[in-house]
Amino acid sequence: MPSYIALRLISAVAMALLASLVIFLISNFVPGDPVLAQLGDILASDPAVVAEWRAKWGLDLPLWERYGLFLKGLLHGDLGTSIATRRPVLDDIVQFAPATVELATISFAMALALGIPLGIAAAVWRDSWIDAVARALSLLGVSAPTFWLAFIMLAIFYGWLGWAPGPGRMDPIAFPPEGPTGFFLIDTALIGDWEGFHDALAHLILPAIVLAAATLGLITRTTRAAMLDCLQQDYVRVARAKGLVERVVILRHALRNALVPVVTLGGLAYANLLTGAVMTETIFAWPGLGRYTFRSAAALDFPAIMGITLVVSATYLLVNLLVDLSYALLDPRVRR
Amino acid sequence: MLSLPRTRWQRRLRRYGLAWLGGGIVLAWFLIAALAPWIAPWPPDAVDVTRRLIPPSSAHWLGTDILGRDVFSRLLHGARISLLAGFTVVLLGAAIGTAVGILAAWLRGWGEEALMRFTDLVLCFPPIILALALAAALGIGTTNTIIAMLVVWWPKYARLARSLALVQRSQEYVEAATVLGLPQKRILFRHVLPNTFGPIAVLCTLDLGIAILTFAGLSFLGLGVVPPTAEWGSMVSEGRELVEQWWVATFPGLAILTVVIGFNFLGDGLRDWLDPKAQR
């Protein structure tokens, strides 16, 4: 077991290094000239200033030395400076991340809480009405464009019915809590501001449902397929022959084995929520990483886009690592 | 569960009914895409600010957008770009990926290791974010966006093709062909490749929906097509703040939804047909 973990850690670090190399190479092939972008027209017309600037940022060095500098910067948390906000990209990301993590976590919890039971029920009562509902729901979830679903939900529940509050994390006239975590639900609860908590929660529900839709579809579908597979296995027949209650057979014997593919997919799906957040946050005016990504892409703010790619890729790698390690808990055969 | 006896026709309809429906939807969109210039009632780019944001009516079936362009006509024209982008990405991605995968399975040793680690490297990036970064680096435009998507699209095919080819390699017919003294290249192209087609075709069909969704998503973010080109993702984007004028964003989204559902039904049916044991 320890050697398995060590091996996975080493390969994850190697992958992260390679990924940073890829990102470095892409940002070096940008058609736009960073000198012009950073210095502006007037300063960039003076060759001496340009040469000094290039030397200062190491742009006159050979490619591999610049990669070394880039890595050194990364280790110091330097992801470059955003052209649009004129702030270090890392500061931007730290500021916007909590809003996205809060939204993604709530949606993921919703998708799991609904998707796994629905998948189990669909497999146990195969071809029944609940199976039909589960299949229709998962088909719609994976087929509907997130950005469109966000628009529709907002148009119906905010614009037409008026049941949900409008875009944003809180009411525009409310004072958002100041720290310490940046998660509004936690921050308001910590200072006992229940009115703010309620406001934040109300604003969270609609975007969370939209973001959860695709994940819910995938989780339901995978749970159903894995359960159908497990329910046909010999050990399930043995368990039934022993006279175990059906509930025990399904939950202890079949489900535990069916969870392995669900965990794999769940890990990936959580990381994918960050992608879905780009669309959802844009429409719900949610001040998170997704909207920051959208704005950076629209403004062709290259340092910001590369910084986000790097951070999200690192998250992806970390989630994959955790998923692999969790196999060891779920499946004793991996430990050997 | 009690199973009632069914006629053969009922069983067939039950098994493949949705696949036919999916095929019908896809075919309909193909016809629309091909015939768009002839069946669209208005030119897709005709701006008329005196007729902006008209609700659906007999003159404008799906209303008009903020520049007074006919949403229905733009929707029909949008089918062309979505289908074209989807097919280009999936077919080229599958071709590149399959080539890499089969080559890896055939090389074995360090060649296989290098190819597959490279594949894993691309897979470790979140696809939309990497495509977004590439599309931003290459510049806005349909071709550039397709290139960016291709970069992130091929790895899943490489993995699938390699595992399929590895299974085929150990089959007796390959051994027999080797014993018969057939050249390796012939075995690879004439024997192994055709036997890997089924699962790859299934993946392609299901993937077409995802590719169309992704392209629409990138267009929604402003990277896919150059305005004023009619494209579904950018049409939703143009209408995203018009909650009162819901028709501007709603109909292009429904178009995406139906085409993706069509490819999903078709892909599921194809899988059942090719592998009746894997009925889900």
Q: Residues B166, B90, B130, CA angle at the centre, nearest 5°?
A: 95
Q: Residues A333, A270, A203, CA angle at the centre, nearest 5°?
A: 150
Residue A54 has phi, psi (to 5 degrees) of -60, -40
Both tokens of residue B206? Answer: 């299901």
Chain B positions touching A267 (Cβ under 8 A) are none
Counting Cα atoms < 13 Å in the Cβ hemisphere of A180 gives 2
Torsion of CA B197, B198, B200, B204, to 10 degrees: 120
Residue A216 near residue A138 (C-beta atoms within 8 A): yes
Nearest chain B residue to A295 by CA distance is: B221
Both tokens of residue B129? Answer: 């974010």
Handedness of CA B35, B41, B43, B45 (dihedral sign): negative
State residue A112's pLDDT score: 92
Distance of alpha carbon A266 from alpha carbon A223, whole angstroms: 10
Q: Is A326 exposed, middle or buried (0-12, 13-18, 19+ CB in 10 A)?
A: middle
Q: Which of A147, A224, A311 to mutate to test the interface with B (most CBs of B within 10 A)?
A: A147
Contact A306 B120 (CB under 8 A): no
Torsion of CA B160, B164, B167, B168, to 10 degrees: -160
Both tokens of residue A295? Answer: 């704005």
CA of A140, closest CA in chain B: separation in Å? Answer: 8
How many residues make up chain A in this entry?
A: 336
Q: Which of B6, B29, B220 to mutate to test the interface with A (most CBs of A within 10 A)?
A: B220
Distance of alpha carbon B256 from alpha carbon A139, whole angstroms: 13
State residue B280's pLDDT score: 44
Nearest chain B residue to A298 by CA distance is: B222
Q: Of B251, B213, B272, B184, which is closest to residue B82 (Cα–Cα)?
A: B213
- Tell me, yes or no, if B209 comes closer than 8 A to chain A by beta carbon: yes
Q: Of A110, A138, A94, A96, which is closest to residue A201 (Cα–Cα)?
A: A110
pLDDT < 70: residue spans in chain A: 1, 29-44, 53-54, 56-60, 331-336
Q: Is A247 exposed, middle or buried (0-12, 13-18, 19+ CB in 10 A)?
A: exposed
State residue A30's pLDDT score: 63
Contact A19 B213 (CB under 8 A): no
- 3-class DSSP assignment, residue B45: coil
Counting Cα atoms < 13 Å in the Cβ hemisphere of A132 gives 5
State residue A36's pLDDT score: 59
Both tokens of residue A241? Answer: 């022959």
Residue A177 near residue A311 (C-beta atoms within 8 A): no
State residue A57's pLDDT score: 61
State residue B79's pLDDT score: 92
CA distances from B42 to B29, B48, B72, B74, B178 (A): 18, 11, 8, 8, 62
Distance of alpha carbon B138 from alpha carbon B130, whole angstroms: 12
- 3-class DSSP assignment, residue B64: strand
> Token pair 């950076």 is at which residue?
A296
Contact B253 A148 (CB under 8 A): yes
State residue A41's pLDDT score: 65
Q: Is A299 exposed, middle or buried (0-12, 13-18, 19+ CB in 10 A)?
A: middle
Both tokens of residue A125? Answer: 């009562």
- Give the ranges where chain A is alpha helix by DSSP (H): 2-28, 34-39, 41-44, 47-56, 63-75, 89-124, 129-143, 146-153, 184-190, 194-231, 234-241, 246-248, 255-283, 289-298, 302-330, 332-335
Handedness of CA A42, A46, A51, A56 (dihedral sign): negative
CA of B129, closest CA in chain A: separation in Å? Answer: 6
Q: Which of B124, B226, B257 to mutate to test the interface with A (most CBs of A within 10 A)?
A: B124
ipTM over 0.95: no
Chain B positions touching A139 (Cβ under 8 A) are 261, 264
Residue A72 has phi, psi (to 5 degrees) of -60, -45
How big is the A-B interface in CB pairs under 8 Å?
138
pLDDT < 50: residue spans in chain B: 1-2, 279-280
Number of Cβ within 10 Å of residue A8's Cβ equals: 17
CA distances from A219 to A139, A183, A216, A222, B135 (A): 11, 26, 5, 5, 30
State residue A279's pLDDT score: 85
- Tell me, yes or no, if B82 comes closer than 8 A to chain A by beta carbon: no
CA of B185, closest CA in chain A: separation in Å? Answer: 33
pLDDT in tens, A138-176: 999 989 999 999 999 988 998 888 888 888 888 777 777
- Tell me, yes or no, if B244 comes closer than 8 A to chain A by beta carbon: yes
State residue B232's pLDDT score: 92
Nearest chain B residue to A319 by CA distance is: B124
Nearest chain B residue to A313 by CA distance is: B125
Q: Which of A148, A278, A309 to mutate to test the interface with B (most CBs of B within 10 A)?
A: A148
Nearest by CB to B217, which of A15, A145, A224? A145
Q: Residues A176, A179, A180, CA angle at the centre, nearest 5°?
A: 155
Query: What does pTM read for this prediction?
Result: 0.85
State residue B157's pLDDT score: 92
State residue B208's pLDDT score: 93
> Token pair 């998503």 is at which residue?
B217
Query: Considering chain A, what percentage of its residues have pLDDT values greater than 70?
Result: 90
Residue B211 has phi, psi (to 5 degrees) of -65, -40
Nearest by CB to B129, which of A228, A275, A279? A275
Nearest chain A residue to B135 by CA distance is: A297
Q: Of A19, A17, A15, which is closest to residue A306 (Cα–Cα)?
A: A19
Distance of alpha carbon A19 from alpha carbon A306, whole angstroms: 11
Distance of alpha carbon A241 from alpha carbon B67, whole angstroms: 70
Both tokens of residue B170? Answer: 């150990």
Q: Show Cβ contacts of residue B226 under 8 Å, excluding neighbours closer than 6 positions.
A: B140, B141, B142
State residue A34's pLDDT score: 55
Distance of alpha carbon B132 from alpha carbon B248, whole angstroms: 25
Q: Report helix angle B71-107 to B247-274, nearest 10.
A: 40
